[in-house]
Chains A and B, each alone.
Chain A
């Protein structure tokens, strides 16, 4: 166990601010993690709603949108959402550590790295699920009106950039932890 893992950074005014903001961020992450699947379920499972999914024209599918079809699409759309929820839950643990003053710890770095990878997989899953959703939504349509949609939106690109940025930050934090370890060994 390194010194930085055992000694929380406390007593610094800036650190106190980081701790209070981290407490808010942790709460926000938990709320978002809880709301995402609920919002998705409300979007797809509410009778009469006209959901859209990554550029798929809902007007062409809502006429024969049975509950079974809605449930199938909900299950598909749940895959990237579940990964996003995992990212948010892991991030909430990182913020919980920051709130407790554990900033330069291996756990915080591992948490950032795990969040980044969950974000990568969530973005990739969203791109991969889009054609499946479009097939599921238009499968019962008349011949010629069935669709396979492949969409890569600016949101997807932003998702990848965000995840890669987080990975680099985790790398930088790893170096910062090493420096913090050195500083902790100076009295």
Chain B
């Protein structure tokens, strides 16, 4: 997948635990773990907005694009 989730980096910068972020965003820790490891097919804008609000960042700071990698069907 050419989209890389760099949520772990932002969590470390903000010194925030994944458990706390999951609680603030309102998703399960399991789903947040899947998101952090890039094992999801997509992120809802509403979820992305809540993550950005909690981490005080922009979507570009937690998502990256890696050219060359083929998108999954």
Give A186 to B41 CA distance when docked, in angstroms.
5
Interface size of B by CB at 8 A reads 12
What is the 8 Å Cβ interface bit string for chain A, positions 159-187, against chain B (1 contact, 0 not)? Answer: 00000000000000000000000100111
- Note all chain B residues with C-beta closer than 8 A to A185: 34, 39-42
Interface size of A by CB at 8 A reads 4
Q: Which of B27, B32, B42, B44 has the most CB of A within 10 A?
A: B42
> Within the complex, what minimum Cβ distance (angstroms) separates A185 from chain B?
4
Q: A-side interface residues toward B, CB under 8 Å? A: 182, 185-187
21 contacts between A and B (CB under 8 A): A182-B41, A185-B34, A185-B39, A185-B40, A185-B41, A185-B42, A186-B40, A186-B41, A186-B42, A186-B43, A186-B44, A187-B27, A187-B31, A187-B32, A187-B34, A187-B35, A187-B40, A187-B42, A187-B43, A187-B44, A187-B47
- Note all chain A residues with C-beta closer than 8 A to B35: 187
Q: Which residue of B lies closest to A3 (CB)?
A: B34
Give A174 to B71 CA distance when docked, in angstroms.
24
Give A70 to B40 CA distance when docked, in angstroms.
64
From residue 25 to 72 of chain B, which have CB atoms closer than 8 A to chain A? 27, 31-32, 34-35, 39-44, 47
Q: Which residue of B lies closest to A187 (CB)?
A: B31
